[in-house]
């Protein structure tokens, strides 16, 4: 008897301390944290809203438009870099990490934005560019000043070889990744533009400097970071040549595999360190990674073996399917929804680096209908969706037609094969007013031209049209907030062999309805039959919650349902 009590006592003590431990441990992805249910909206500040008539968007403009974002149903904004910068890469070349570029406003404007955003319940996520700085950053100016400067080792300096660069590594933006600095006779390494020298992440001072930057912004109350180009932080110290692949790229260089400059294992040490840093702040700040991972195993590694790295790795595999294929989407969604790290997925289709989804997935005839389907595909899975400004109104990619109009340097180097990224960065279309659609004053010259489509595709016109893309987004976002199944339901793909209709169920395990989403990815009407008895759904009748094709009845038969070309249906089932 005594022994039994002792055993019981021991069990209680261990259980008790286990419980205490789980409480004390930092909240990892297991908790019901804000970012799992948030909708993140990417703001490209240069193109969002200009308030002083210089044709460039600014911080005050973002503040002014917070109420629009609120009414849309956004929870957080990710703002691409607005730190002081020569703007060669439009902010991704940072000259000072702890200040605001006067083009965009002042630190006071930023603080006001933070205050206003807090009032609206919108979180602010900053862009952290850690792989490289601007060549005008004082760190680099010092580093390049002499071979013995204390900051020399903050960047990657190497001797040339045989009268040329140290090896065959290539810049993402064309040509050699090495530039000779005549002053000291050595080459520096840059994965991106010549004006973006790579930092040396093996130097502890560099790490400390960057972590201090993160603290600076966390102290200001930002809700986390989108980490730029994470997979490029380290490169092979032995400078092995990258393998050459067949053919040439848009810049006329031989294709190569970035084998020795991408995804080196040390990246994960850094991700662990910065996750610890972020976890030491209250409010569960989030780390989002930009990394074009080639497959689910690489993507899954980003979460860390113990969910101790990135909470939300952006899923480029899904963003870049580039065709409406139920089979391809089903495979990729299933993979990431069941990823081995049990990490929480993050989806997007458009951003400032790739052609907008309206044209990339549109077929030239049904683009608006397809835009609504893509919206449902983005917003209804078990994941954190990331939107890009203007996708909610069906903004299209508007590429320059003459090389002399190109602003993104990569579009000049790559012309005409690669026309750069101006096309997806045109000003936000707020009103029907010509020529500037409410982005800037009518007499100003916006930094990129406002597309003619702005007359019909803008927030003003679309908010009055119940069938607009904008109103479809709004309704989807309301459903996301109000349907428990869309918040916490499991992910189950349904009719796995259907080549045309991608169907998934957000299976609600509580006492309530589940939500079935049916997306006809073909240009023909499709008849579908659903048998959801395996998921405990007995009723053969579903409740139509939302559809994109004007089906007006409240209920729908599950055993015999016709979905028009590119139609989207969201159905409640029990």
Instruction: Give the binding site for Ca ion (CB under 5 A).
Output: 50, 52, 54, 56, 58
Q: Which of residues 185-204 bind ligand GLC (CB under 6 A)?
A: 192
Which residue lies nearest ligand GLC, judged by its C-beta? 92
Closer by beta carbon to ligand GLC, 315 or else 368: 315
The rounded Cα 387 to chain-centroid distance in angstroms is 8
Please name the residue that has the structure tokens 């707020």.
430
Residue 380 φ then ψ, to 5°: -105, -15
Residue 317 Cβ vs ligand GLC, minimum distance, rounded to whole Å:
16
Contact 278, 285 (CB under 8 A): yes
Say how many residues touch ligand GLC, by CB under 6 A: 9
Please name the residue that has the structure tokens 């459903």.
479
Closer by beta carbon to ligand GLC, 192 or else 349: 192
Residue 140 Cβ vs ligand GLC, minimum distance, rounded to whole Å:
15
SS3 letters across 87-149: CCCCCCCCCCCCCCCCCCCCHHHHHHHHHHHHHHCCEEEEEEECCECCCCCHHHHHHHHCCCC
The catalytic residue positions are 228, 290
Closer by beta carbon to ligand GLC, 50 or else 198: 198
The angle subtended at Cα 8 by Cα 6 and Cα 10, nearest 5°, is: 70
Closer by beta carbon to ligand GLC, 129 or else 271: 129
Residue 284 Cβ vs Ca ion, minimum distance, rounded to whole Å:
33
CA 255/CA 245 separation, integer angstroms:
5
Residue 192 Cβ vs ligand GLC, minimum distance, rounded to whole Å:
4
Residue 67 Cβ vs Ca ion, minimum distance, rounded to whole Å:
19
Q: Which of residues 69-98 bind ligand GLC (CB under 6 A)?
A: 89, 92
Residue 348's H or E segment, with its range, is strand 346-348
Select the binding partner of residue 92 from Ca ion, ligand GLC, none (C-beta < 5 to 8 A, by kind). Answer: ligand GLC
Site membership for ligand GLC, residue 228 (CB under 6 A):
yes
Considering only 353, 363, 418, 523, the residue that binds ligand GLC (CB under 6 A) is: 353
Residue 475 φ then ψ, to 5°: -65, -40
Select the binding partner of residue 368 from ligand GLC, Ca ion, none (C-beta < 5 to 8 A, by kind). Answer: none
Q: Which of residues 302-321 bind ligand GLC (CB under 6 A)?
A: none
Site membership for ligand GLC, residue 229 (CB under 6 A):
yes
Select the binding partner of residue 89 from ligand GLC, Ca ion, none (C-beta < 5 to 8 A, by kind). Answer: ligand GLC
Contact 134, 146 (CB under 8 A): no
The angle subtended at Cα 371 by Cα 365 and Cα 376, nearest 5°, is: 140
Contact 518, 503 (CB under 8 A): yes
CB neighbour class for 37 (10 Å; exposed up to 12, middle 13-18, buried from 19):
middle
Adjacent-strand bridge partners of 544:
571
Selection from 266, 323, 311, 262 nearest residue 291 by Cα: 262
Residue 410 Cβ vs ligand GLC, minimum distance, rounded to whole Å:
8
Select the binding partner of residue 198 from ligand GLC, Ca ion, none (C-beta < 5 to 8 A, by kind). Answer: none
Site membership for ligand GLC, residue 262 (CB under 6 A):
no
Which residue lies nearest Ca ion, judged by its C-beta? 58
Site membership for ligand GLC, residue 129 (CB under 6 A):
yes
Q: Give residues in contact with ligand GLC (CB under 6 A).
A: 89, 92, 129, 192, 228-229, 290, 352-353
């Amino acid at each position: 008897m005594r022994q039994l009590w002792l055993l019981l006592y021991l069990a209680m003590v261990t259980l008790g301390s286990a419980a205490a431990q789980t409480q004390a441990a930092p909240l990892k992805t297991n908790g019901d944290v804000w970012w799992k249910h948030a909708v993140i909206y990417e703001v490209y500040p240069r193109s969002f809203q200009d308030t002083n008539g210089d044709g460039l968007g600014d911080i005050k403009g973002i503040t002014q438009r917070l109420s629009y974002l609120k009414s849309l149903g956004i929870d957080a904004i990710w703002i691409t870099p607005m730190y002081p910068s020569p703007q060669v890469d439009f902010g991704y070349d940072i000259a000072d990490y702890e200040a605001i570029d006067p083009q965009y406003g002042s630190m006071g404007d930023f603080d006001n934005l933070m205050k206003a955003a807090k009032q609206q319940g919108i979180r602010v996520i900053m862009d952290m560019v850690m792989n490289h700085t601007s060549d005008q950053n004082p760190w680099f100016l010092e580093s390049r000043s002499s071979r013995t400067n204390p900051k020399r080792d903050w960047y990657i300096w190497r001797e040339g070889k045989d009268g040329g660069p140290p090896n065959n590594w290539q810049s993402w933006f064309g040509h050699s990744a090495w530039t000779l600095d005549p002053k000291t006779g050595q080459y520096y390494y840059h994965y991106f533009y010549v004006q973006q020298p790579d930092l040396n992440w093996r130097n502890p001072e560099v790490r400390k400097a960057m972590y201090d930057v993160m603290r600076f912004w966390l102290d200001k109350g930002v809700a986390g970071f989108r980490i730029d180009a994470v997979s490029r932080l380290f490169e092979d110290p032995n400078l092995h040549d990258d393998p050459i692949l067949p053919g040439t790229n848009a810049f006329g260089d031989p294709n190569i595999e970035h084998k020795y400059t991408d995804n080196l294992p040390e990246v994960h040490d850094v991700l662990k360190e910065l996750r610890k840093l972020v976890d030491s702040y209250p409010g569960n700040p989030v780390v989002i990674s930009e990394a074009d991972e080639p497959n689910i195993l690489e993507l899954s590694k980003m979460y860390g073996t113990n969910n101790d790295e990135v909470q939300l790795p952006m899923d480029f595999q899904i963003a870049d399917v580039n065709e409406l294929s139920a089979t391809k989407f089903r495979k990729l969604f299933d993979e990431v929804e069941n990823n081995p790290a049990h990490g929480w997925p993050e989806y997007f289709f458009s951003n400032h680096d790739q052609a907008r989804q309206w044209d990339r997935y549109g077929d030239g005839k049904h683009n608006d209908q397809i835009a609504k389907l893509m919206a449902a595909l983005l917003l209804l899975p078990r994941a954190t969706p990331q939107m890009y400004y203007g996708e909610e109104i069906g903004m299209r990619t508007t590429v320059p037609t003459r090389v002399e109009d190109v602003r993104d340097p990569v579009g000049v180097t790559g012309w005409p094969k690669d026309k750069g990224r101006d096309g997806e960065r045109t000003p936000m279309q707020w009103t029907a007013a010509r020529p500037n659609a409410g982005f800037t004053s009518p007499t100003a010259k916006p930094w990129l031209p406002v597309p003619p489509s702005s007359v019909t595709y803008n927030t003003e016109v679309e908010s009055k049209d119940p069938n607009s893309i904008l109103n479809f987004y709004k309704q989807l976002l309301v459903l996301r907030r109000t349907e428990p199944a869309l918040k916490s339901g499991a992910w189950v793909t349904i009719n796995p062999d259907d080549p045309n209709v991608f169907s998934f169920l957000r299976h609600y395990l509580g006492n309530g309805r589940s939500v079935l989403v049916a997306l006809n990815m073909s240009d023909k009407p499709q008849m579908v039959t659903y048998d959801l008895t395996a998921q405990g759904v007995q009723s053969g009748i579903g409740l139509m919650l939302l559809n994109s094709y004007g089906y007006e009845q409240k209920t729908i038969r599950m055993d015999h349902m016709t979905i028009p070309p590119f139609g989207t249906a969201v159905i409640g089932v029990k």
